[in-house]
Chains A and B, each alone.
Chain A
Amino acid sequence: MAAADELAFHEFEEASNLLAETPDAATTSGSDQLTPQGHVAVAVDSGGSYGAEEEAEESDRTALLQEEKQQPGFWTFGYYQSFFDVDTSQVLDRIRGSLLPRPGHNFVRHHLRNQPDLYGPFWICATLAFVLAVTGNLTLVLAQRRDPSIHYSPQFHKVTVAGITIYCYVWLVPLALWGFLRWRKGVRERVGPYTFLETVCVYGYSLFVFIPTVWLLGVLALSLSGASLVFTLWPVVREDTSLVAAVLLSTVVLLHALLAVGCKFYFFQPLPLEHLAPPLQATSLPPDVLLPLTPGAKTT
């Protein structure tokens, strides 16, 4: 099994340039023969800009895929195992790709290569939720040292809130985005969306940058993360009318900003609204003491 995996990976390496040029070519046929675990047949819809001759090849290949491969039903364990079919080096490579977004370098084509995984998004979200809660707690501790009248408490419920918010964001927003792009594909033939799992994957990996920069949870993290989302979505929406593209991209960036700002205010404010400290003490402190860490304001 390990040898088969090795072979599959090397094949990807050789074909990476080809893939980057013709991202719509179905590439899973080779690896299917080598790794008998059923990969989910990722239907890559062809973007119209690459010409009609690709379409014929495309339909031939997808027909072949459907004949050759038995897709495991979604009630079997093997179905879910196909989403975790990644190696350590692949996950690290995808994380690196999300950290450094480049305009021409599409995350989905170069790094995912039609093989989205759920390991990255799931554990990045879990880590982010805990890091936010831990850092929020640390902020409270530091604020208490500065001003002993602030009542310190572990505030454990923030972990739950963080977890739920982040997981909902990574599942619901890609769902809405995917649904919208599919609808636009129906309206205008030339818009080719990513699959749902690829969208979830992109969102999950784009959240990684928040983890190390949690102290600077402000413009820097937001711009890196938002840029990686925008650059990934750009090739898909540029075929659409410029109005729709602009509205979509700005909505994506706005939602992302809302997440970042919401997290900042919820986790890093040492005197939250539901706090136990008596309101008298809260109002007697000047406002700039209440937010000892305002990195967003300082780093602009």
Chain B
Amino acid sequence: MAKAAESSGDPGTTSPRPLMRDLKAVGKKFMHVLYPRKSNTLLRDWDLWGPLILCVTLALMLQRSSVDSEKDGGPQFAEVFVIVWFGAVTITLNSKLLGGNISFFQSLCVLGYCILPLTVAMLVCRLVLLAEPGPINFMVRLFVVIVMFAWSIVASTAFLADSQPPNRKALAIYPVFLFYFVISWMILTFTPQ
């Protein structure tokens, strides 16, 4: 990505294919999440396309089949969607109430993009579940989910921690931990019926 000016709001660019430009921006942010280092790209040029794509993918993979009864199965598509977005909004509100100086959409953007490792974990789990069920199957899935959960936390902390006053960092980070823990739990307990 040698291009320097990726800002989406610049009317001067004569790009004839804004879709490709946006896709490149989303892709660039994915790379930033996968290799987290202190950079302002996620914060400065926020967009919500990436989180939307990830959330829809995750919800599609997690939704229970129609065989499961209403009450006993895993989450429905809408439930996953609501959890992800409602959770992200709650964490953002919490961080702003504690006195953080990050904007609302920037925070949503970071939290949404950092679901990428867990979406990858979901893909891997679905593949692993095609194999023979058993304790090894479960251990592999557990290991993958734990690693990706840690990756999500590290990535989001790298971006969000600086926006909080130093004596409240833990208070702002704990809900992020809880949020990704719930998503990881949903991924781990997923059983295709």
Q: Is A80 an interface residue (CB 8 A)?
A: yes
User: Looking across the interface, which residue of chain B has its beta carbon closest to that of A84?
Assistant: B97
Min CB gap B102→A, angstroms: 14
Q: Is B113 an interface residue (CB 8 A)?
A: no
Is the Cβ of B165 less than 8 Å from the Cβ of A154? no
User: Looking across the interface, which residue of chain B has its beta carbon closest to that of A5?
Assistant: B167
Cβ 8 A contact of B98, one of A119, A153, A155, A275: A119
CB within 8 Å for A88 and B171 given contacts A80-B97, A127-B178: yes
Q: Is A91 an interface residue (CB 8 A)?
A: yes
B105 partner residues in chain A, CB cutoff 8 A: none
Q: Is A86 an interface residue (CB 8 A)?
A: yes
Interface string of B92-104 (1 = CB under 8 A from A): 0010111100000
Is the Cβ of A152 less than 8 Å from the Cβ of B165? no
Cβ 8 A contact of B72, one of A77, A85, A91, A153: A153
Q: Is B3 an interface residue (CB 8 A)?
A: no
Min CB gap B169→A, angstroms: 7
List A122-169 residues whose CB lies under 8 Å from chain B. 123, 126-127, 130, 134, 137, 151-157, 159
Is the Cβ of B171 less than 8 Å from the Cβ of A153? no
Cβ 8 A contact of B167, one of A87, A153, A275: A87
List B135-193 residues whose CB lies under 8 Å from chain A. 165-171, 174-175, 178, 181-182, 185-186, 189-191, 193
In the assembled complex, the Cα of A89 lies from the Cα of B191 at a distance in Å of 41
Min CB gap A278→B, angstroms: 13
| Range class of the A interface residue count | 20 to 34
- Of residues A77, A85, A127, A153, which shows the largest number of chain B Cβ atoms within 10 Å of its Cβ? A153
CB within 8 Å for A137 and B169 given contacts A119-B98, A153-B72: no
Is the Cβ of A123 less than 8 Å from the Cβ of B175? yes
List A241-300 residues whose CB lies under 8 Å from chain B. 274-276
Is the Cβ of A154 less than 8 Å from the Cβ of B97? no
Is the Cβ of B75 less than 8 Å from the Cβ of A123? no
Is the Cβ of B71 less than 8 Å from the Cβ of A137? no
List B67-100 residues whose CB lies under 8 Å from chain A. 68-69, 71-75, 79, 94, 96-99
B79 partner residues in chain A, CB cutoff 8 A: 156
Q: Is A63 an interface residue (CB 8 A)?
A: no
A1 partner residues in chain B, CB cutoff 8 A: 99, 165
Q: Is A27 an interface residue (CB 8 A)?
A: no
CB within 8 Å for A88 and B168 given contacts A81-B97, A130-B182, A134-B185: yes
Q: Is A187 an interface residue (CB 8 A)?
A: no
- Of residues A83, A134, A154, which shows the largest number of chain B Cβ atoms within 10 Å of its Cβ? A154
Q: Is A2 an interface residue (CB 8 A)?
A: yes
A77 partner residues in chain B, CB cutoff 8 A: 96
User: Looking across the interface, which residue of chain B has its beta carbon closest to that of A153?
Assistant: B72
Is the Cβ of B178 less than 8 Å from the Cβ of A130? yes
Cβ 8 A contact of A274, one of B71, B73, B96, B186: B71
B69 partner residues in chain A, CB cutoff 8 A: 276
List A1-49 residues whose CB lies under 8 Å from chain B. 1-2, 5
| Apart from A2-B165, A156-B73, A159-B182, 16 more pairs, CB < 8 Å | A5-B165, A5-B167, A84-B97, A85-B99, A86-B168, A87-B167, A87-B168, A88-B168, A88-B169, A91-B171, A119-B94, A119-B98, A123-B94, A152-B191, A154-B73, A276-B69
A-B contact pairs, 12 of them (CB 8 A): A2-B165, A5-B167, A77-B96, A80-B97, A87-B167, A88-B168, A119-B97, A119-B171, A123-B174, A153-B73, A155-B71, A157-B72
Tell me the B residues contacting A by CB distance below 8 Å.
Answer: 64, 68-69, 71-75, 79, 94, 96-99, 165-171, 174-175, 178, 181-182, 185-186, 189-191, 193
